[in-house]
Structure 1
């Protein structure tokens, strides 16, 4: 017993011994050098004044939108100055975060470009993403709750995609992550990599009406949907779907619905394609129409991932931080809309 106690004391003493810091802040990461050589105060300022297209290519947002984000989010991420040092400027934090979301740059790369320590970057990116979500989420991700709002979406689906009574398209997207510690196979998906699932409902214009980004990679889209608040509202009819009415050139009432793939169960409020065996011409036409409507969510995921390419990489954050990053990307996607999609003019008919 005494021997074990002595060993424990020795271990505790060794743990207490901490190597003294050689630097408080490395000289090349100081505020003066950051102001003189960092990309935020040099390159971005130059691009803002001389080449706004390159500014947009660098951050995926225009200077005016960056200024709007900074004005609204800046007070949430501003730190107080202390006797030891001054707080990092909100504009630097926002630029680092947007650059990380836009290209998926790793923390060491961001450190050398913006001259901010990588351990500071690892802390500030989830903080800024959470601030953007808190500021914009209720404003830009709004699920309709009245029959008039759903009818407007259904009319647009009919006119743009030739799918009457469709009120949205539902699907899931796997976002790759590094395996969380002690998680076993919870995040290991059927594609044999670790991920979290973004389940989303998209409208006719590629904007997201509702999202759930807390799904484990091992869960199917149907499992996540069955446990979601969206299904509960659809079951209780609390979401405000319009009353059933006839389809064009028909006289039988038909309920309004959302579009899904074979992973989901057929419901009065959820339409899925027919199976692929022994289909008649009418069934093939129906599947074609459903596929036209369902490609809205596929296109929305494609635009989202190409615009914010952090979703194409293996994210290094823990699952809680990854949820904030995904929600932030969706908020910025809806906030920007289709104004900056290269080559986009209007939805095809």
Structure 2
């Protein structure tokens, strides 16, 4: 009898978590993770320039593997390169570490580049339907330059995706570029780190069905933005200098 009561209790908890995750997304998504508009990208680019000295950058892209229990009859679809079962959270972050858009649920076996290609965001990026701002000159230049996303070596090089130069044969100018790009790209890594530190479920193996896991991850990303937007943002370079001098 004790085992049966515990089993019923666990089922009830799962149902509550699953339903709550759906409700959180439905209620808070329009406010704390709305679909990005051109104005959203413009504001994000302005913030990247203020904080990280990276012009025309509208966001940073990266993927995070969410550890899960092996789904029934899934074969090797969810086994990632690290050897455990996972789904991929593909996210775009702004300069302050808030998510601008997310895609959840890609097979863990896929690389970041593949996950981006299969995501809704990636498809819109390829089809030029993200409503990005028109190209504008970089500081001190006259030639227009497209707005872009910062990414690491795992992603494809595109007009709208900047990735670092290969490590071989680097010149000083290329090293400076890599350092500047890496500094801006770390905002999405900070997003993942801050979110995981608050929501410890991301450090465990989630043993629920895939749809429920997707909803939990979406709710966690949304709650991360909810918390971040009620705290102090990163300070711009000028503000940091003033604080150091006082």
Tell me the TM-score normalized by structure 1.
0.64
Alignment of 1:145-294 (within 5 A): 145-146=37-38, 148-294=39-185
> Secondary structure at the residue paired with 1:241?
coil
Distance 2:31 2:230 in 1: 18
**1:302 and 2:193 are equivalent in the alignment:** yes
Distance 1:347 1:180 in 2: 43
Distance 1:227 1:118 in 2: 34
Change (3 A) 1:204 1:290: same
- Gap regions ≥5 residues in structure 2: 238-246
**1:138 and 2:30 are equivalent in the alignment:** yes
Distance 1:249 1:299 in 2: 30
Distance 2:166 2:74 in 1: 36
Distance 2:161 2:135 in 1: 14
Equivalent position of 2:12 in the other structure: 120
Displacement of 1:265: 0.8
Equivalent position of 2:242 in the other structure: none
Equivalent position of 1:39 in the other structure: none
Distance 2:233 2:155 in 1: 33
The CA RMSD over aligned residues, in Å, is 2.0
Structure number with bigger Rg: 1
Corresponding residue pairs, total: 236
Distance 1:318 1:273 in 2: 37
Distance 1:129 1:279 in 2: 47
Judge which range, 211-220 or 238-247, deviates more: 238-247
Judge which range, 123-132 or 295-304, deviates more: 123-132
- Gap regions ≥5 residues in structure 1: 1-21, 27-107
- Runs (4+) of structure 1 moved beyond 6 Å? none
Displacement of 1:167: 0.2
Equivalent position of 1:346 in the other structure: 234
> Secondary structure at the residue paired with 2:92?
strand
Distance 1:243 1:125 in 2: 43
Distance 1:347 1:317 in 2: 40
Equivalent position of 1:64 in the other structure: none
Tell me the TM-score normalized by structure 2.
0.89
Distance 2:229 2:42 in 1: 22
Distance 1:191 1:348 in 2: 37
Q: Which has the higher strand share?
A: 2
Change (3 A) 1:345 1:153: closer
Residues 96, 234 of structure 2: 8 Å contact kept: no
**1:311 and 2:202 are equivalent in the alignment:** yes
